[in-house]
Chains A and B, each alone.
Chain A
């Protein structure tokens, strides 16, 4: 099970946080602090896996953003790297050549995409196309300010 996903910049500013277990605000802040310090201190060509308390931390840097995933100890680390990569691909498809500013100014969209991909600390959907279609349809639904609901059929 994944415990949390954090996105932060090279300066340590948090851009996205998703928690899959209930934690107090204090604990969340502490974890964020620990993660940013640990990950930002890593040398460039070192391995992407760390140990922190009883969790495994998988992190990867994409341009100016660090993606940091905290998983339980029985999880597959290499798959964690794939999960991070898949999320980046989804963001890229949605925003078109995504950069950090897109995520800053449209953070709620980033969350919506994440909620279509991961849920309850596990992967929800393994097909990129399906997720992209769902997001598009949800956005179209949101566009409509009247109280009519479009019946959108999902194929596949």
Chain B
């Protein structure tokens, strides 16, 4: 091979440039020379010039002026010029350039050239940058070449056909017959190309897929030949005969066997054979095993084979090679939903991978661990997860914290454990938790009434140590405000005694108020907590008064407003103060059966003080409340889908600032209106849809739609749409899910809020759509009468 000296000299010159500026200078001179030479009609060094230009292009400099030269060189009769010309076309021209159409004719001519190398250049270029028109133009040529007798050309034509099918889907039909006949080739290159082409055709067209199912026996035969054949020097890679071809055939078998019993049966033996015979010491063998496992898990394989596949993955997990552990976990992730028990067996190894120094492996291990948490292993798993949280890389923290919360909520063995876990997360990763953690935690604490003393002590101690984690500080302030009397009493069985006096508590709250680390929301919490303490402590009420009055002139509008109102409580409404600041009743969670459902709907952006009736509120809410139940959850929130199974990243919920619990006045936020018996509006194909309403106010109505499935098969993609008369405003909240498991095991709930200001006759049209046993159903129901709500 003769070196192209001018090219290498230029490269040397560019590399010896010491600065960027110098390099630019050299390149500009060279480009000028190249341009001048392009303009000359005929010279010998044309290919060198173009090669120089391509080098310059790779360095990132503009080279578009070479496009026409490429076109000219492609048309040249000399092979050397054609070669560089086609290379230039692949690098400089793509389907978005106008000049690319100019080479269509050249390609057409070269496809019929008598030298196979020229044909291959044309095929390669067409496959690299052929636009849809070029493909349409040249498809018949490619089809002809697919049937030629030259294997070299055939294999290239097959891959060119793949490109054409990608660009113009309809031409797939044209290539199907030729592709079928190519399967009987012996040449591995052609065979590989044929398998790739058939895979592409089957992916694009379901009818073609049906037709190619008949080729399964042939493919099985080819595969068997590869696996059982002896050593073949031409195709052997580390003891495996042509792993590239094996993997492609396995992929095609996967597509053909998916959802089809007959095809899957035909390949069962083969897959077992491959799984057991393939040497797994080197990457090549493992690649084949990996593909086999993926195929087994995706077709309707028999259970023995599935177990074999999961065992292979288990072996991979123990492999020293990090890459193999990584892909093992990726695959286990995919099947953790369906073969849960099998994956549980490898839990120990997976949890160990949490400690792997590689971030990709850690991420996979985290997702898999979260998916494997269950009621029986919650304690040990949580210990590992909390350990992980303290050492994990920052980009995984939010995901880990979210996952831990979900798991804790589903499987908490005791309330105290649950609270401890959440506190632990808040202290280690408080900055990465989602906003609604604070109200969720508060709601949880209120329900655990026997743990109030323990909780407030723990929180107080945490607050003393560190006031930088906003979520933790907010919860701590709230608890201190609410249960301050328990804190001051000092004795608590479950935690070591610590004498706390009133000044200490007020000091702590004041520190939070004044610290620059506290966010405005946190300071709001602290101020309200201070105020609440005025009814729970005995001696330092004046101190509280002074704190509150200072903030009456605070720059922050929210704090100022609060302080002014509290001041008013001290002065004008002192007789009401005790009642207003009473202990809050237990809040009920607003969830709908699925854990981690909608965020605590108890948050009210309360702005004005509520006139509370004089009689002592016990657990019944005062009757004459200004019940300004605003739509708290905003318009476009999503419920976090339960992250188990399969584990997915949970969406963040946009709660309204996550702040401002209503602390003044015991608003019982769960609507006390009793719910009417739901009415069934749709009952067909085993799907039952019921609606029930709750009147929130004269014009506001909340309708709850509940769907259930009594058939033996799961129903997927369940979707509800609703329409109402023009003057009525409709807001559909996110449904609790879109999958209805069989035999009524779980329901889907969706809440619809209607606002009927003109008090027209309420009607609603509901469209139900779902997929059951492979077929989709869609029905529209009209609801004319709504069940009366008391």
Query: Which residues of A line the B interface, CB within 8 A?
Result: 14-17, 20, 22-24, 29, 43, 45-51, 76-79, 81-83, 85-86, 104-109, 111-112, 115, 119-120, 122-130, 134, 137-139, 141-145, 147, 149, 151-152, 154, 156
Contact between chains at B327 and A154 (CB < 8 Å) = no
Most buried by B among A127, A129, A144: A127
Contact between chains at A130 and B128 (CB < 8 Å) = no
Closest CB in chain A relative to B671 CB, distance in Å: 44
With contacts A22-B96, A119-B156, A126-B192 taken as known, whether A145 is within 8 angstroms of B80 at the C-beta atoms is: yes
- Contact partners of B4 in chain A: CB under 8 A: 108
Closest CB in chain A relative to B295 CB, distance in Å: 11
Q: Which B residue sits closest to A78, measured CB to CB?
A: B287
With contacts A119-B124, A122-B162, A143-B2 taken as known, whether A127 is within 8 angstroms of B188 at the C-beta atoms is: yes
Contact between chains at A122 and B159 (CB < 8 Å) = yes
- Contact partners of A78 in chain B: CB under 8 A: 283, 286-287, 290, 323-324, 327
With contacts A46-B357, A46-B358, A120-B163 taken as known, whether A142 is within 8 angstroms of B79 at the C-beta atoms is: yes
**CB proximity to A under 8 Å, residues B82-106:** 83-84, 87, 90, 94-96
- Contact partners of B60 in chain A: CB under 8 A: 14, 29
Query: Does B370 have its Cβ within 8 Å of any Cβ on chain A?
Result: no
Contact between chains at A82 and B234 (CB < 8 Å) = no
- B152, B189, B358: the one contacting A47 at CB < 8 Å is B358
Q: Which A residue sits closest to B50, measured CB to CB?
A: A108
- B7, B77, B116, B193: the one contacting A154 at CB < 8 Å is B116
Query: Does B55 have its Cβ within 8 Å of any Cβ on chain A?
Result: yes
- Contact partners of B326 in chain A: CB under 8 A: 47, 49
Instruction: Provide the B245-265 mask, 1 if CB < 8 A to any CB of A, else 0.
Output: 101100100000000000000
**CA–CA, A139 and B117, complex, Å:** 10
- Contact partners of A144 in chain B: CB under 8 A: 79
- B15, B87, B361: the one contacting A112 at CB < 8 Å is B87
Q: Which 4 A-B pairs have the closest CB atoms?
A: A78-B287, A120-B127, A125-B189, A47-B322
Number of interface residues of B (CB under 8 A): 77
**CA–CA, A76 and B289, complex, Å:** 11
- B117, B155, B327: the one contacting A137 at CB < 8 Å is B117
Query: Does B51 have its Cβ within 8 Å of any Cβ on chain A?
Result: yes
- Contact partners of B78 in chain A: CB under 8 A: 145, 147
- B54, B242, B361: the one contacting A126 at CB < 8 Å is B242
Closest CB in chain A relative to B60 CB, distance in Å: 7
Main SS at interface, chain B: helix
- Contact partners of B248 in chain A: CB under 8 A: 123
Query: Does B172 have its Cβ within 8 Å of any Cβ on chain A?
Result: no
Query: Does B129 have its Cβ within 8 Å of any Cβ on chain A?
Result: yes
Closest CB in chain A relative to B322 CB, distance in Å: 4
**CA–CA, A105 and B324, complex, Å:** 36
Query: Does B485 have its Cβ within 8 Å of any Cβ on chain A?
Result: no
Contact between chains at A22 and B115 (CB < 8 Å) = no
Besides A82-B283, A120-B127, A124-B159, 12 new A-B residue pairs in contact (Cβ under 8 A), listed by A number: A29-B60, A47-B323, A49-B326, A81-B323, A123-B196, A123-B248, A126-B189, A127-B234, A127-B235, A142-B79, A144-B79, A154-B150
Most buried by A among B54, B117, B151: B117
Closest CB in chain A relative to B783 CB, distance in Å: 42
Name 14 interchain pairs, CB-CB below 8 A, sorted by A: A43-B358, A46-B359, A79-B287, A107-B55, A108-B7, A112-B83, A122-B162, A123-B244, A124-B192, A126-B188, A127-B189, A139-B1, A141-B117, A145-B78
Query: Does B8 have its Cβ within 8 Å of any Cβ on chain A?
Result: yes
- Contact partners of B291 in chain A: CB under 8 A: 76, 79
With contacts A45-B322, A137-B117 taken as known, whether A123 is within 8 angstroms of B287 at the C-beta atoms is: no
Query: Does B237 have its Cβ within 8 Å of any Cβ on chain A?
Result: yes
Instruction: Provide the B675-713 mask, 1 if CB < 8 A to any CB of A, else 0.
Output: 000000000000000000000000000000000000000
- Contact partners of A49 in chain B: CB under 8 A: 323, 326-327, 360
**CB proximity to A under 8 Å, residues B186-223:** 187-189, 192-193, 196
Query: Does B499 have its Cβ within 8 Å of any Cβ on chain A?
Result: no
Contact between chains at A105 and B192 (CB < 8 Å) = no
With contacts A81-B283, A134-B152 taken as known, whether A126 is within 8 angstroms of B245 at the C-beta atoms is: yes
Q: Which B residue sits closest to A77, measured CB to CB?
A: B327
**CA–CA, A23 and B93, complex, Å:** 11
- Contact partners of A77 in chain B: CB under 8 A: 323, 327
**CA–CA, A40 and B12, complex, Å:** 26
Query: Does B608 have its Cβ within 8 Å of any Cβ on chain A?
Result: no
Instruction: Provide the B593-626 mask, 1 if CB < 8 A to any CB of A, else 0.
Output: 0000000000000000000000000000000000
Query: Does B114 have its Cβ within 8 Å of any Cβ on chain A?
Result: yes
- B163, B243, B325: the one contacting A79 at CB < 8 Å is B243
Contact between chains at B360 and A149 (CB < 8 Å) = no
Contact between chains at B235 and A126 (CB < 8 Å) = yes
Instruction: Provide the B548-561 mask, 1 if CB < 8 A to any CB of A, else 0.
Output: 00000000000000
**CA–CA, A49 and B323, complex, Å:** 7
- Contact partners of A141 in chain B: CB under 8 A: 79, 115, 117
Q: Which A residue sits closest to B77, measured CB to CB?
A: A147
**CB proximity to A under 8 Å, residues B441-455:** none
Q: Which B residue sits closest to A144, measured CB to CB?
A: B79
Query: Does B70 have its Cβ within 8 Å of any Cβ on chain A?
Result: no
**CA–CA, A109 and B128, complex, Å:** 17
- Contact partners of B251 in chain A: CB under 8 A: 76
Contact between chains at A76 and B287 (CB < 8 Å) = yes
Contact between chains at B247 and A22 (CB < 8 Å) = no
With contacts A78-B290, A154-B116 taken as known, whether A48 is within 8 angstroms of B323 at the C-beta atoms is: yes
**CA–CA, A5 and B83, complex, Å:** 21
- Contact partners of B357 in chain A: CB under 8 A: 43, 45-46
**CA–CA, A81 and B327, complex, Å:** 13
Query: Does B307 have its Cβ within 8 Å of any Cβ on chain A?
Result: no
**CA–CA, A128 and B1, complex, Å:** 20
Q: Which B residue sits closest to A127, measured CB to CB?
A: B234
Contact between chains at A47 and B84 (CB < 8 Å) = no
Contact between chains at B163 and A125 (CB < 8 Å) = no
Contact between chains at B247 and A79 (CB < 8 Å) = yes
Query: Does B381 have its Cβ within 8 Å of any Cβ on chain A?
Result: no
Contact between chains at A108 and B287 (CB < 8 Å) = no
**CA–CA, A143 and B117, complex, Å:** 14
**CA–CA, A106 and B151, complex, Å:** 29
Closest CB in chain A relative to B690 CB, distance in Å: 40
**CA–CA, A134 and B189, complex, Å:** 13
- Contact partners of A134 in chain B: CB under 8 A: 117, 152
Contact between chains at A149 and B247 (CB < 8 Å) = no
Contact between chains at A47 and B155 (CB < 8 Å) = no
- Contact partners of A137 in chain B: CB under 8 A: 117
Query: Does B71 have its Cβ within 8 Å of any Cβ on chain A?
Result: no
Q: Which B residue sits closest to A142, measured CB to CB?
A: B80
- Contact partners of B51 in chain A: CB under 8 A: 108
Contact between chains at A76 and B247 (CB < 8 Å) = yes
With contacts A49-B360, A127-B188 taken as known, whether A108 is within 8 angstroms of B163 at the C-beta atoms is: no
Query: Does B748 have its Cβ within 8 Å of any Cβ on chain A?
Result: no
- A51, A82, A109: the one contacting B287 at CB < 8 Å is A82
Query: Does B160 have its Cβ within 8 Å of any Cβ on chain A?
Result: yes
Instruction: Provide the B271-292 mask, 1 if CB < 8 A to any CB of A, else 0.
Output: 0000000000001101100110
- Contact partners of A15 in chain B: CB under 8 A: 58
Query: Does B11 have its Cβ within 8 Å of any Cβ on chain A?
Result: yes
**CA–CA, A146 and B164, complex, Å:** 35
